[in-house]
Amino acid sequence: MLAAIDIGSNTVRLLIGDINPDGALSPLRYVRRVTRLAGDFTDQRGLAPGSMERTLSALYEFQDICRQHRVNNLLAVGTAAFRTACNGCSFAEQIRASTRIPVEIITGEEEARLTASGVLLALSETPLNTLIFDIGGGSTEFVHMVDGNVLWTDSLPLGVVRLCEEHKDPKEIEAFVHRLLNRIQRQVESCSTPSGSQPILVGTAGTVTSLAAMDMKMTRYDWQRVNNYHLQKSRLESLALELGGLTPSQRETLPGLEAGRGDLIMPGLQVVLALLDIFQTNQLTVSDFGILEGLAARLAKGPSTSVKGMCRN
């Protein structure tokens, strides 16, 4: 039995699975906890004590779940919150010492590649020209693929926790988002693509999957319905107007939006709408699968394919 853990800047997620006779991964259990690790982050202090305590508590719970399932192959990754924090490496070491969970801090490029491999497992049809994006709590990862090959990856400081806590004015967020996304547009335009086509946008992670769940008015989240769902720009624009008139707590009463995302959904939605605007497209494809499934699939291939951490004592 194997397990993969994604310690994100907003959410900590666990996937437990087994290997089928054909070598494919068979997911058995999925658990998620919103701990907001990047919350109250400062450059001087790094990760806040309360944020680390919430995250450790979730990991102790995951440790117990793994023990119950007799997991014998486990790997966890830390992403943007760990990378940017002055105490990121020391917190990773604290996790290893306290929980025995072998967490590794990965680069933005490694995060993007793991995300892409997970997304490809979900898509019913892989577009010839694809721009995959993963809106996290601390950063947003991008992978541009043509004909199944990765052309480039990038990581930008467009995480929803970061945007929410560092930029209070929605217009300020909009200007900041567009300024950074222009870099992605230039990278796409610099690549040779089939017939000069615009890439198909494929989004993953909490913001995009929450928007899909809200669009379908889900009272119980169903990842199978979310995978390959198409979000329309017109619907997202209407949703932005609706959510903009509500408080964060009022937003969380709407079907499809989980607790802890009431203040984060708006900056995430701004990133999505900006991407649709920049690439002049009216829809995006949603993938529930991402970095967690990519990590599990790699782990299923054997220890030799484990990720390499950025820092370790």
- Output the pLDDT for position 238: 93
Q: Are residues 136 and 279 in the same domain?
A: yes
User: What's the confidence (pLDDT) of residue 213?
Assistant: 94
Q: Tens digit of pLDDT for each residue in 191-215?
A: 766 656 778 899 998 899 999 999 9
Looking at residue 130, its amino acid is T
pTM over 0.85: no
Distance CA 223, CA 162 (A): 26
Q: What is the mean pLDDT of residues 84-106?
A: 93
Question: How large is the average pLDDT for residues 169-173?
Answer: 82
Closest CA to 161 of 178, 173, 145: 173
Given a cut of 50, whether residue 137 has pLDDT beyond it is yes
How large is the average pLDDT for residues 228-254?
93
DSSP 42: B
Three-class secondary structure of residue 159 per DSSP: coil
Q: Check pLDDT > 80 for residue 111.
A: yes
Q: What b/e readout covers 138-168, taking b as 16+ CB neighbours within 10 angstroms?
A: bbbbbbbbbeeebbebbbbebbbbbbbbebe
The whole-angstrom separation of Cα 128 and Cα 147 is 5
Q: Are residues 119 and 175 in the same domain?
A: yes
How many domains in the chain? Answer: 2
* pLDDT at 86 exceeding the cut of 90: yes
Average pLDDT over residues 61-86: 92
* Amino acid in the structure at residue 259: A
Together in a domain, 272 and 299: no
What's the CATH number where 221 sits? 3.30.420.150
Q: Do 173 and 222 reside in the same domain of the chain? A: yes
Using the predicted structure, report yes or no on whether residue 224 has a pLDDT greater than 80.
yes
Task: Assign 312 a pLDDT band (cuts: 50, 70, 90).
Answer: low
Instruction: State the pLDDT confidence band at 240, using cuts at 50, 70 and 90.
Output: very high
Among 16-25, 150-159, 196-205, 242-251, the range scoring the smallest mean pLDDT is: 16-25
Any bridge partners for residue 12, and if so which? Answer: 7, 33
Least confident of 87-101, 171-185, 228-242: 171-185
Res 193: pLDDT: 65
Same-domain pairing of 139 and 122: yes
Q: Determine which helix (DSSP H) or strand (DSSP E) holds 141, and give its type and residue range.
A: strand 140-146
Domain that holds residue 118: 109-290
Q: Are residues 64 and 190 in the same domain?
A: no
What pLDDT shows up at residue 192? 65
Task: Locate 243 and state its tokens.
Answer: 């959510």
Domain harbouring 42, CATH code: 3.30.420.40
Structure tokens at 225: 């319905």
What pLDDT is recorded for position 178? 86
The answer as to whether 269 is a domain residue is: yes
The whole-chain average pLDDT of the chain stands at: 87
Number of alpha carbons in the 13 Å side-chain half-sphere of residue 10: 27
What's the average model confidence in pLDDT over 244-261? 91
Q: What is the pLDDT of residue 308?
A: 58
Q: How many CB atoms lie within 10 A of CB 242?
A: 12
| Terminal Cα distance for the chain, rounded | 28
Report d(CA 76, CA 285) in Å as an integer: 27
At 254 the pLDDT is 94
Q: Are residues 256 and 201 in the same domain?
A: yes
pLDDT attached to residue 304: 45
- Asked whether the predicted pLDDT for residue 264 surpasses 50, the reply is yes
